[in-house]
Amino acid sequence: MKLVSLTISILGLAALASAQVTLTPGAGIEFSRHNFANAAWNVSKPGETCGVCHIPHVEARATARVHNTLLWGRELSAANYTPYTSPTMQAVMGQPSGSSRLCLGCHDGSVALEMFGSVTATTTTFVTGAMKVPGKDNFDFGADHPISIPYLATDPGLRDKDTSRFGPTATRFIKDYLEGGTIVQCSTCHDVHNKDIVPGTNVLNTPPNPMNYLLRMSINNPGAESELCLACHIK
């Protein structure tokens, strides 16, 4: 398997991460844009990779940071989102739920990246620009793939979640990537830890800001174009 190794430039996107991180798709979180161990804004747990998001023990801090699962150690967003709606969609999207709220605590751009550990009020570094999700307007999912929706077994436009393969290897099924076996979340399509993804693909942009998007299946690999979308949608 060919891995593409890319070094983050100190320009552009890299401003939020460490200038020294080597990007290697599929090699784990340390080799991804989610390695903030040495990010300038990581004043609470410098040198720690996992500690930016997870805590092994609940420490004294605002209750808003203690998500009841996954040992979450970060402030969550208090935003009220406009859900995705359409006349053809069968499932109904409400407010984001589950692990998607953990992503949105950074990616909706409303909570400072510093807001974990000992920091309670500093608000200087935010996710901005293309990295902001939802990206249309503030907190509006109108132009983003719906999340926190059930994968309806009755929808004739969707593949059988129990028997259709999904993910970077041919060993797992769609249901294995749905929260609780039923709900589409951000982590259905992305692996925040840069491990269970299709390696070395989806590098769409040219350097200095090459993107892998941490996707579990290809969107533009030759011979596997839009494989991610077609894994669920019968189109």
| Residue 181 φ/ψ, nearest 5 degrees | 80, 0
User: Of these, 24, 110, 187, 218, which contacts ligand HEC (CB under 6 A)?
Assistant: 187
User: Of these, 42, 77, 99, 110, which contacts ligand HEC (CB under 6 A)?
Assistant: 99
Please report, as a single letter, which amino acid is at residue 14: A
Q: Answer yes or no whether residue 147 interacts with ligand HEC by CB under 6 A.
A: yes
Please report, as a single letter, which amino acid is at residue 44: S
Minimum gap (Å) between residue 94 Cβ and ligand HEC: 13
Report the site for ligand HEC in 64-83 (rule: CB under 6 A): 70
Minimum gap (Å) between residue 1 Cβ and ligand HEC: 18
Contact flags string 106-145 toward ligand HEC, x per CB under 6 A = xx-----x-------------x--xx-x-x---------x
Please report, as a single letter, which amino acid is at residue 146: P
Minimum gap (Å) between residue 60 Cβ and ligand HEC: 20
User: Of these, 4, 19, 82, 146, which contacts ligand HEC (CB under 6 A)?
Assistant: 146
Minimum gap (Å) between residue 40 Cβ and ligand HEC: 12
Strand 149-150 and strand 183-184: the pairing is: antiparallel
CA distances for 39 relative to 9, 45, 181, angstroms: 14, 10, 35
| Residue 225 φ/ψ, nearest 5 degrees | -65, 130
Q: In whole angstroms, what is the distance from residue 165 CA to residue 156 CA?
A: 17
Beta strands, E only, 22-151? 22-23, 149-150
Report the site for ligand HEC in 15-74 (rule: CB under 6 A): 16-17, 29, 33-34, 49-50, 52-54, 70
Report the site for ligand HEC in 163-182 (rule: CB under 6 A): 174
Binding part of the chain for ligand HEC, among 55-63, 75-83, 190-198 by CB under 6 A, reads: 190-198
SS3 163: coil
CA proximity to 1, closest of 26, 29, 33: 26
| Burial of 75 (C-beta count, 10 Å sphere; 0-12/13-18/19+) | buried
Q: Answer yes or no whether residue 218 interacts with ligand HEC by CB under 6 A.
A: no
CB of 45 closer than 8 Å to CB of 52 = yes
Site residues (CB under 6 A) for ligand HEC? 13-14, 16-17, 29, 33-34, 49-50, 52-54, 70, 86, 88-91, 99-100, 102-107, 113, 127, 130-131, 133, 135, 145-147, 149, 151-152, 155, 158, 174, 184, 186-190, 192-193, 211-215, 219, 228-229, 231-233
